[in-house]
Structure 1
Amino acid sequence: MTVQRQLHLGAILEGVGTDQHSWRDPDLPGDASVDIDWYIRNAKLAEEAKFDLVFIVDSPFITPDTAPHFLNRLEPLTLLSAVATHTSRIGLVGTLTTSYWEPYNVARQFGSLDHISRGRAGWNVVTTGLEGAAQNYGREEHFLHADRYARAQEFVDVVRGLWDSYEDDAFPRDKASGVFLDKAKQHRLDHKGDYFSVAGPLALTRSRQGQPVIFQAGDSSEGRTLDASIADGTFAAAQDFDSGRRYYADLKSRAATLGRNPDHIKVLPGLFPVLADTDEEAQRLAREQQETLDIGKLLVQLGRAFPNGDSMA
């Protein structure tokens, strides 16, 4: 039996680039990362091309050597709310860390984006590997790796619970009788866990799609287990076809072990296309890009997730 499968495409809108050289492209505006018109224009192009989503990366820590896009860029939820009003079908996925936010705020923000976009919001759940981020949020030390993932699991569970604070028909809004809310259909969460205590309810109804879509991109064992537990879609960073197949099989196996239907998780591998009129021209452009790379800046990029982040991007 032939099984029909749907190819899903997403476009990462990263302004002047999360590498160290893309910003020098003469066709790219130098202020693209803070120009909302640039994001709107490219999101509309992706929508016209039938892409499923646009994706906004983010991180909570920088140094002077950080890649250009991260040095000066718009906050994802604000950005996507603006893009939502200029698009109608494409998904809007933003990155937000579970390590330095609170579930109630996140539930409200992404729930609001889901309403503004009429059911097109997605949350890329990250735990933040940048140790320097701790000092931006009143902590002397970053969370331990295992704690970050345990916290993330509980964080997402709480957010999803808050998104279900109201049943779909909780608001009759009957002006004749004066009944705005059916109180029996509003539900407190009353969550008390290892990391969070959240009473609820959230002051926002479910959106047209019910809840925002959850994405994740962890590649450690803990990260893959979190993927398998919470994700509707994952961003895979496999460098070749065989490693991509191994990642796919491992993720689906973990999902099945956790009692989930593996088919409910979509896997989106990363692609970095070089576009030109001919293969020869594309190969030439790719070579030129490689030749202009600065090994010093590449080492800085590699060091982002390691300790002593005050000297690394």
Structure 2
Amino acid sequence: MDTNEREHVIEVTDLRRVYGGGFEAVRGITFHVDRAEVFALLGTNGAGKTSTVELLEGLAPPTGGRVRVLGHDPHGERAVVRPRTGVMLQEGGFPSELTVAETARMWAGCVSAARPVREALALVGLERRADVRVKQLSGGERRRLDLALALLGEPEVLFLDEPTTGLDAEGRRDTWELVRALRDAGTTVLLTTHYLEEAEILADRLAILHEGRIAAAGTPAEVTASQPSRISFELPEGYFVGDLPPLAGLGVLTHEVRGRLVRLRTRELQRTATELLLWARRAGVELRGLDARSASLEEAFLGIAREASAPQPKAHTA
């Protein structure tokens, strides 16, 4: 096995999944996840995230293409792969009459070399709820229990499906800190999430799925760089947009004016902002409310989805 294969804990090559009736949910995607990396798989509803993750978890064989987790086929060699992975599903479906500790002990009995139950519960902040029945837990506490069970086997690879759904702000940030700590300790994490802020904060790299294909991939910074940056400010009293330097010459793609508020979109944030500030200094005026920032992952996500959905021009034939 070469160095590249050792580093790529998850390898997906031209992956396809077709359901009965011919619906193609995953249409030939390729990506990899390195050891001790957090990789986010994003997409709108129906984009193919769940179908892809199920193949990575070994729940079904791919219709076409190749999947390898820790160098093995997760479906064909499930007995080898499963003990080294942890899975946090969107809903655990645990017996409601069992206590938190009983549920964890039951799950630990199905895991090879499980860590102590108390330790797993402490990782997610549930140690004081160990004797509470599952039916008495809040939605956020149930998500914490889902995560604790996924961590029982001290997995090398951790699949997290919407890990912070139902958590309050504090619980979400606690989970983020835990995911970072796991990554720093060598765990490879693949997560799906609808919280784009979560992906932007946690992910080392990500891929955005749209209609079964990868529409964009890279680090969060690389993906957001594909979309224009924003600058907004208030025009000084007595000045109009026409008094500004020619916007096209500043690298501005589009502009919008509402009263005295000006919004610009540019792919050259530093140059555009610098030229505006130099103009304001020469004019001896202040640009009140000046705000300059790169596109957020949410803006990039929405922009990429719009671009991917736009109808393609028809080819003309002679």
Provide the TM-score with structure 2 as the length reference: 0.28
Flag the structure with higher strand content: 2
TM-score, normalised on structure 1? Answer: 0.28
| Larger proportion of helix | 1
